[in-house]
Amino acid sequence: GQSLEQPSEVTAVEGAIVQINCTYQTSGFYGLSWYQQHDGGAPTFLSYNALDGLEETGRFSSFLSRSDSYGYLLLQELQMKDSASYFCAVRGNQGGKLIFGQGTELSVKP
């Protein structure tokens, strides 16, 4: 089966940098994705890594190491609006359905 682990909560201050880690176990690997979800809202896509290395999109970056079954989401120059839950997700067998981690609730303080 597939499983993902990520911290349940992270707190940081405005302007800081925060890293949210995700380790996964899958039978077959078809990429690691990250989604953001504000309270009561729909998840929105942030990034996708299929190959090792760092992908940068503005203030957000995502990293993948397939040999370590590990990835992280890096958020820079934190803003209050970044307070949300962040989910890592992997594809199931044969690139099928998305399996989500339990989510990391990020609280950004003034």
Q: Which residues bind another protein (CB under 8 A)?
A: 31, 33, 35, 40-45, 48, 50, 87, 96-103, 105
Our CB check for another protein shows the closer of 12 and 98 to be 98
Task: Report helix, strand or coil for 94.
Answer: helix
Closest by CA position to 33, among listed 109, 24, 42, 18: 24
Identity (one letter) of the amino acid at 34?
W
Decide if 80 contacts 70 (C-beta within 8 A).
Answer: no
Q: What is the DSSP letter of 35?
A: E
What are 109's two structure tokens? 């303080």
Compute the least distance from the CB of residue 33 to another protein, in Å: 7
Residues paired with residue 90 on neighbouring β-strands, in sequence order? 32, 99
- Closest CB to another protein among residues 14, 38: 38
Residue number with CB closer to another protein (7 or 31): 31
Query: Minimum distance between the CB of residue 29 and another protein, rounded to whole angstroms?
Result: 13
Nearer to another protein, 72 or 87 (CB): 87
Question: In whole angstroms, how close is the CB of 8 to another protein at the nearest point?
Answer: 9
